Amino acid sequence: MSGEPPRCADIDSLWSPFRAKVSALLQAMEERGFDPILFEARRSRERQRWLYGCGRTHHLGRKPVTWTLQSRHLVGKAADIISRSRLWSWPAFYAALKEEAARLGLETISSEGCHVQWRG
């Protein structure tokens, strides 16, 4: 398997209505005292296939990163948000992210605390 395709963290790559909600979510998290950053926005098909392969066809010993080839990341309707200072290691951050996402009408998935997506 070839190397990891580049990750896009550009908020402008997101679908416009979703981008507005992600922007509001980042602001709400900052107002609560957290340090959110957009870790991943829109994905290329190549990156999605590579991430799907993690734990399946490469990175043996690592659990799968994603369970689908049809992620909403592909159309700019999903984003991964993490803490700038503590990355994925802050349970209070992810609890607050889930609360704020729900308040804004966004969906989260229980198995991936950093993931938010357009509802529907």
Give residue-wise pLDDT tens across range 25-74.
Answer: 999 999 999 999 999 999 999 989 888 787 666 666 666 566 777 889 99
pTM exceeds 0.75 for this model: yes
Q: Which fold has domain 11-118?
A: Muramoyl-pentapeptide Carboxypeptidase; domain 2 (3.30.1380)
20 torsion bin: left (phi>0), alpha (psi -120 to 50), beta (else): alpha
Hey, where are the domains in the chain?
11-118
Residue 60 DSSP SS3: coil
- CA nearest 79: which of 120, 55, 112? 112
- CA nearest 74: which of 41, 105, 39, 25? 41
- CA nearest 77: which of 21, 2, 7? 21
